[in-house]
Each structure stands twice: as C-alpha cells, then as structure tokens.
Chain A
Amino acid sequence: MADIIKTATRDAYGKALVELGSVNEKVLVLDADLAAATKTGMFKKAFPERFFDTGIAEANMICIAAGLSTEGYIVFASSFAMFAAGRAFEQVRNSLGYPHLNVKIGATHAGISVGEDGASHQCCEDIALMRTIPGMVIINPADDIESRAAVFAAAEHDGPVYLRFGRLALPRIYDENYKFEIGKAVKLREGTDVTIIATGLMVNEALIARDNLSEIGISAAVLNIHTIKPIDREAVIQAAKETGAIVTAEEHSVIGGLGGAVAEVICESVPVPVLRVGVEDVFGRSGPAVEMLHIYGLDAATITEKAKNAVAMK
C-alpha cells in the first residue's frame, strides 16, 4: 500500500511553505528565477507580498536573504542544489554560516535524479560542501511527509539550515502521525546482521533491499538519517554495535556525504565494515531519472549486493 501515493519532495516543500506562511507572518521566500521548478511559486501565489524573486543571481539571493534575516525574518531562499550550494557556496559560508544567520536554503533538483538535464545540473556534491560549514544543519527528507516536517522544524531552528529536495516522485514512507526531530535518526526496521543507513530517496530502496536480503537469510536493519548534520552519532554507534556491519545509501557522491559522515563516526568509535552506496566519484549524464538511478547503482539491487559483502567482511 505504501507506494500508492507518490510525490516529489519539491512539491511537498512548496506546499509546506504555503502552510507555514499562513501561520507565521515572519516567513519570507526568495527564489532566483526558478519558482515554477522549485515550487516556491505556490508561496508566491498565496503570499505575493512576502515573495521576492532576485533574478538569475544566486550569490545575490543568498546575501539578500542574510540581510533580511538580521531583521528577524525567517527567510527561505531557493534554487537548484547545484547553484544554491555550489555557485553560492562562499556566500553561504561567509554571509550565512559565519554570522549564523536564520536563513533556510531550500535546494531542489538535488542528485542524479534530475535526469534529462544532465551532469551540469545533477548536483551530487552539495551535502559534502554544506557539511564543512560550522553550525550548518543539513536535512535530506525521504518523502513528502518528512519534507513537510523538515520545513516546519527548520523554521523553528535558530540558524542556517540546508534542506535538500528532489524532482522525482517518491513513494510515501511515513504516515501523518510521523514525529520528526532534527538530528534524530529513525529506525524503520529491526535486523541483526547488517544495518542499512539511508537518506532521501534511497530510504525506500533500502526497505526493498531489506526484503531481498531477508529472502536469502540476511537480517538487515534500516535506519533513516534525514539529518546528515548534526548526525545522530548514538544511533550510528548503536547500529554498529548491534549488527556489526553497515551499508550507507545516498543519492550523492560517495565522498563527503552520508557515507563519509557515518564512516567518520564508526572509525572513531566502533570500527566495523562500512560500505557505501552512492555516486562513485563520476559525473552523471542525460537520461530518464529512474534509468539514471540504476546506471549509477543507486538502487535496491546495489544495496543488496553491498550488504552481502559487508556481512562477509565481518
């Protein structure tokens, strides 16, 4: 039943902004000429007086957001992940991160599932970039329910937050009663042989892989890490202690993202095998999103294989 409702997290982001805007007058939304694609257009329609399009100038947008936030506004600034985290990295670092300003970056079209637009727009480096900024919170939601919760939690959090959304419609993981907390991992399935730690659209793939593994006699736990920074160290350490092997899964480069963050925690506390599923340090290419995910090994089949290998390494 879980895969009946399919929603892109960017759509959930747009809807959540409207909902948030209706209960909090301090919320402003900025976009850099991509309002239709990032879905901030929904907010623009609902609250035109609180929406500002800065044009095709992402660096400018981030710094305008910084200026606005010094006056007590909660500013959501949106663009594609490539431009929000990539082009405007130094503005995010120096004008948001360093003064710890209350700006939320709503980055959509993250990862390889941008599909047909190709490598120039498939940002698989944003988590790595954002992780290096002190005080930055990074949230990569797995479905529409978690996206909505993340938007509301980000608004409550005092300081910069990087929210990562995608273009591809995803099956719903959670129900309406889901309780979201920044920095708190969610154990979705129990298991004893290996833990699959996943984020974003790879959470659903992890659940499928878990079923595949159970058919061949491997018991896999599934942990959703929606907040990549600050990472839930306790949950990661506990997973390593309980199952003795870890596979990470993310729609991002294997360098510097969830896999890197988990490996850092594991190496320093409970060294156990950690295998990473992600984009293997290559650029993507044009093609349908789902095809891209399979070509670059971002699927249940790859997680299943890595999980078998991780168990064998114990």
Chain B
Amino acid sequence: MDAIVKKQLKIKACNVRMGIIEGVYNAKSGHPGGSLSIADVLTYLYFHRMNVDPKNPKWEERDRLVLSKGHVAPALYSVLAQKGYFPVETLKTLRKSDSILQGHPSMKMTPGVDMSSGSLGQGLSVAAGMALGAKIGGKAFRTYAILGDGEIEEGQIWEAAMYASAKGLDNLVAVVDNNNLQIDGSIADVNSPYPIPEKFKAFGWNVIEIVAHSFDEIDAAFQAAAEFKGKPTAIIAKSIKGKGVSFMENDYTWHGAAPNTEQYELAMRELYAELAELEA
C-alpha cells in the first residue's frame, strides 16, 4: 500500500478510536474493547474499499456492511461520523434516550447503518441474503459481514457459512475479529471456536489470515477477496482487544465497561500523542 495512503488511514483510525472513547465515556456504558480491535478494519473499509456515498446512504448500488458483532457499534458510528454521515459531535450522544445512536445498530435510526443488529449470530445470514440479492439482480455491489470470534460460537453462523458457500456467494466477505477474548474470558477457555481458518475452509470458504492492525495486510486481503471467484471469503483478522489504549489492550474486563474520567483522560492523551506523531 502507498505510504501516503497508509498514513492517512492511520490518522483516520486514530480519530476513529478517539470517537469510540468519547462515545463510551459519555454514555458511561458500551463496548470499547472490541470496538478498538476492529477500528482499523472498519476505517479501511469505509475510507479505502467500500463504494458508499454519505450524501446518499440508501444508494442502491452501494456496498453493504453488516456489523454482526453489533455491540461494537461505537466503532461503526465513529467511522460513519468521520465519513460524514452525521457530525462527529453526535458521538457524545451515544446510548442517550433521544440519540440516533442506539446501544446496538439500528438501520431505522442511524444513516449509514445497513442492517439492525446486536443479537449475535444473525448478521452473516443477513449479509448472505444481501449478497444473494445482488446476484439475483445482477448488481455489482459487495457485502461485508463483521463477526466476533466469540460470536462464531453461535450455531447460526455455521448455517450461514454452509449456505453462502453452497450458493457460491463470492460477493460476500466475512471478517472474523479474532481478538481472542469474550465477556467471560479467553475464547479458548470459554468454548473454543479454534481452529477458525480450518472451520471456514471445511465449510467451503476462501480463507485469508491477517494481522488486523496492518493496513498492508488488510489491503492485500480485501483485494484478494475481491478477485477471488466462486467462493465467499473469510478474513481471519488477528487483533488486539482494546488496541490503541494501553491499559485496555488484551484485557477482557474492557469488553463492556466504560472508562471513568481519569481513564478517559489517560486514553485520550495516548491517542492525541499518537495522532501528533502521525501528523508530524
């Protein structure tokens, strides 16, 4: 990937992370850990890969994204705000009773959200439906589903995985945010879905493994997925839960907890320092 583009994406991702912290801090609840782990992939998708128009969120030809791990809505909202779907200031209203930003995504309330989600395990089926619809209608748009590694413990994910490959939905890409942690602890300890790549391969998918925080690897994976014909692609993205905020990294207790004022200020200081370094 071009060095200037990469730098711009890194700056964007840093701003996205600030929006996540801002939202969760003001809401006094939410899911920062998994939001931070998927922030780079979502930033890449909306700023470099997906064909979307913030001025026309319902544009029929747009690429679709289903945030199946809907609890990381703060990450999606922050990306959508950066992209111009609504003001960045709106992020501070996250989870408030008169906000357009629900605790989990609502396609009826937030511009840019392609599908309501939040109940784990359903989004890959919905994305498969969208991809199938594109095939039926001869449309060129592509559909992306963002899954959690804990989420794939849900059986419906594998119903959808079976279906998508049986129907050859090569316009569908699933990303598994493999941060290795779920609410109750390590996914290996709770109810291990490992080995993940082998499972998707066995279900007939094209599988690519990457580091979720390397824009070079992210870019190469999505480019390869776009060129791959005949099968859907699963990108298994090894990530760090809480990535970008030192005290949240690799700590499952930050799955669904908001920072207090002191922690918020510390997190923002770290992110501002990173931003200053990137912009230097």
Greatest chain B CB density within 10 A among A50, A64, A71, A72 is at A64
Cβ-based interface call for B116 (8 A): yes
- In which size bucket is the chain B interface? 20 to 34
* Complex contact A66–B126 (CB within 8 A): yes
Q: How far is the CA of A67 from the CA of B68 in the complex (A)?
A: 12
Residue of B nearest to A72 (CB): B60
Contact of B119 among A68, A94, A100 (CB under 8 A): A94
* Complex contact A67–B115 (CB within 8 A): yes
Give per-residue flags for A56-92: 1 if the beta carbon is below 8 A from chain B beta carbons, else 0.
Answer: 0101101111111111110000000000000000110
* Complex contact A28–B136 (CB within 8 A): yes
Task: Give the interface SS of chain B, mostly helix, strand, loop or mixed.
Answer: helix
Contact of A71 among B118, B122, B133 (CB under 8 A): B133
* Complex contact B122–A95 (CB within 8 A): yes
Residue of B nearest to A61 (CB): B125
* Complex contact B122–A52 (CB within 8 A): no
Cβ-based interface call for A54 (8 A): yes
* Complex contact B106–A52 (CB within 8 A): no
Residue of B nearest to A71 (CB): B133
Query: Which of B158-166, B204-212, B237-245 sits within the interface?
Result: B158-166
* Complex contact A63–B132 (CB within 8 A): no
Q: How far is the CA of A66 from the CA of B106 in the complex (A)?
A: 14
- What chain A residues lie within 8 Å of B133 (beta carbons)? 67-68, 70-71, 73
* Complex contact A66–B119 (CB within 8 A): no
* Complex contact A52–B132 (CB within 8 A): yes
Q: In chain A, residues 18-63, which have Cβ atoms closer than 8 Å to a Cβ of chain B?
A: 28, 49-50, 52, 54-55, 57, 59-60, 62-63
* Complex contact B116–A94 (CB within 8 A): yes
Cβ-based interface call for B9 (8 A): no
Q: How far is the CA of A57 from the CA of B137 in the complex (A)?
A: 24
Contact of B126 among A49, A50, A67, A98 (CB under 8 A): A67
Q: In chain B, residues 50-96, which have Cβ atoms closer than 8 Å to a Cβ of chain A?
A: 60, 64, 66
A-B contact list, 11 entries, CB within 8 Å = A54-B163, A59-B159, A60-B128, A60-B163, A62-B125, A63-B125, A70-B107, A71-B139, A94-B119, A95-B125, A100-B108
Residues of A that sit less than 8 Å from B by CB: 28, 49-50, 52, 54-55, 57, 59-60, 62-73, 90-91, 94-95, 98-100
Q: A54-B163, A57-B162, A70-B64 are in contact. List 20 more A-B contacts (CB 8 A).
A: A52-B132, A55-B166, A60-B156, A63-B125, A64-B125, A64-B128, A64-B129, A66-B115, A67-B130, A67-B131, A68-B129, A70-B114, A70-B130, A71-B130, A71-B133, A71-B139, A72-B60, A91-B125, A95-B115, A99-B115
